[in-house]
Amino acid sequence: MADSENIAGLGMRASWVRATPHASERANTEDEKALLACIGQGAQLRDVIAGCGMPESKAIALLLGMRLKGFVLPMAGPPAQGSAPVSAPAAPSPEVRLDPAALAEEIELDDARKREILTLEARLATDDYFALLGVPVRAPGVECKKAYYELTKRFHPDRYFGKILGSFKDRIDKVFKKLTEAQSVLCDPTRREAYLVAHPDLAAPAQPLGGQATPMEARRVAERCSRLARHPYLAKQGKMIDLLKHGREHLEAGEFGKAASDLNLAVQMEPKNREILELLAKAKKGADKQRADNEFKDAAALEKSGDLSAAVSRVRTAVTLDPDNADYSHRAARMLLAVGGEAELKEAGRLARRAAELAPRNVEYHLTFARVLSRAGLEKNAAREYEAVLKLDPQNEHAKEQMKKLRWKL
């Protein structure tokens, strides 16, 4: 058959392909391993099909399967003698403007390192994974991993242990996390293929050295990307990557509800993905805090209007959603103390104690706890709380007066 004949999903018979690093170790069958041995660092499809010793239909079916698994990738042309295949150069990143205030921070980093960190941080939102690692577009995984390890020499947080970093501590953590994410995706064949499907501008093969691609070549690229995008597994992976990206964006914008919605869908696709699970937990916590704040504001407004019963219900919800907020626990204790029932008094004591424990130097919280204890008839315990108040504020008139009364009783 003619070399110009197109094999759907693979390219022309004269097209060059190569095996990805460690593909033979991940191959499932001896037939796949035999095909990978025929391909090596680079071979034309016609030679692989003709020289593998298999029926043509079987060889093509296996090659298609390995293409989808990420075991086989297209090449722009034959590999250079004694070297790895040449990839298209990474596109240069646009120039970024650095924050003068950050550059002026007096920390234990020289100006050159500050500029390097700020520049890479600014590129996180715009550069693709290849550009972030500083490797050519579609560089093999082994090259991506090598570049990542070189970058860790400058950006691993442990290398700055014990130094005064100011705002750069969070910047270094953010940069390192993104570099690790890029390396993790590009060095995993299935995640890498899904990433390329989600970014078709990166999935396109390199332009021929002679100039621009012809319209026919461009059409074939578009057809191939479309065909891969429809593959059930890759479509699922592409969707997961998009959801993860949107989830991160919503988190950074403080839109925790939207982030939780996207990340919930993403975790259904990859239930064991640690990164998604951590981001989802962060989104849920943020969403709970936002809702708790709204409930607390409503409770305060209802209390002011005289609807104490509804106010107690709202403030209880706020405490449940954000149990570590001392102000919520304290306000709930005061409202329950005003209601005055036996069950409410018991709950008020628990919440007042919680508020005082969360903010041990807050005089008002200790006073409220002391009032609850006095109302419950626990004078000795109340006296200890008033003593704690006087240690914090020796001139507190209310605590002095109550201590006189309690000494007389005790």
Q: What is the pLDDT of residues 281-305, one digit of tens each?
A: 999 999 999 999 999 999 999 999 9
- Please tell me the predicted confidence (pLDDT) of residue 326: 93
- Please tell me the predicted confidence (pLDDT) of residue 176: 92
Q: What is the pLDDT of residues 195-251, one digit of tens each?
A: 887 777 675 444 443 344 455 555 555 565 555 555 555 556 667 778 888 888 888
Domains and CATH numbers, the chain: 6-75 (1.10.10), 87-212 (1.10.287.110), 323-409 (1.25.40.10)
- Closest residue by Cα to residue 299 from 318, 315, 287, 322: 315
Q: pLDDT grade, residue 91 (50/70/90)? A: very low
Instruction: Please report, for residues 38, 41, 84, 87, 151, the alpha-carbon distance to residue 80 in angstroms, rounded to integers and kept in the order given.
Output: 17, 10, 7, 11, 27
More confident: 51 or 200:
51
Q: Are 1 and 8 in contact (CB under 8 A)?
A: no
Q: pLDDT grade, residue 367 (50/70/90)? A: very high
Kindly report which listed range (7-11, 220-224, 394-398) carries the lowest average pLDDT score.
220-224
Of all residues in the chain, what percent carry a pLDDT higher than 90? 26
Give yes or no for residue 148 having a pLDDT over 80.
yes
Cα maximum dimension of the chain: 109
Q: Are 152 and 175 in contact (CB under 8 A)?
A: no
Q: pLDDT grade, residue 364 (50/70/90)? A: very high
* pTM more than 0.75: no
- Please tell me the predicted confidence (pLDDT) of residue 53: 81
- Please tell me the predicted confidence (pLDDT) of residue 88: 39
**What dihedral do alpha carbons 178, 182, 184, 185 form, nearest 10°?**
130
List, in sequence order, the alpha helices (H) in 210-307.
Answer: 215-230, 232-252, 256-269, 274-305
Q: What is the residue type of 208?
A: P
- Please tell me the predicted confidence (pLDDT) of residue 409: 65
Average pLDDT of the segment spanning 91-112: 73
Q: pLDDT grade, residue 334 (50/70/90)? A: very high
User: What single string gives the DSSP state of each residue in 89-137?
Assistant: PPPPPPP----HHHHT--SSS-HHHHHHHHHHHHHTTTS-HHHHHT--B
- Please tell me the predicted confidence (pLDDT) of residue 134: 76
Q: pLDDT grade, residue 68 (50/70/90)? A: low
Give yes or no for residue 1 having a pLDDT over 70.
no
Instruction: Provide the mean pLDDT of the chain.
Output: 80
Give yes or no for residue 355 having a pLDDT over 90.
yes
- Please tell me the predicted confidence (pLDDT) of residue 128: 84
- Please tell me the predicted confidence (pLDDT) of residue 18: 81
- Please tell me the predicted confidence (pLDDT) of residue 203: 55
Q: pLDDT grade, residue 410 (50/70/90)? A: low
Q: What is the residue type of 252?
A: E
Q: What is the pLDDT of residues 14-29, one digit of tens each?
A: 778 888 766 777 676 8
Q: CA 127 to CA 96: how far, in whole Å? A: 12
Q: What is the pLDDT of residues 245-272, one digit of tens each?
A: 888 888 888 899 899 888 988 888 888 8
Q: What is the residue type of 140?
A: P
Q: pLDDT grade, residue 138 (50/70/90)? A: confident
Q: What is the pLDDT of residues 308-333, one digit of tens each?
A: 999 999 999 999 999 999 999 999 99
- Please tell me the predicted confidence (pLDDT) of residue 392: 92
Q: CA 394 to CA 53: how far, in whole Å? A: 94
Q: CA 376 to CA 392: how far, in whole Å? A: 24
Q: pLDDT grade, residue 95 (50/70/90)? A: very low
More confident: 128 or 215:
128
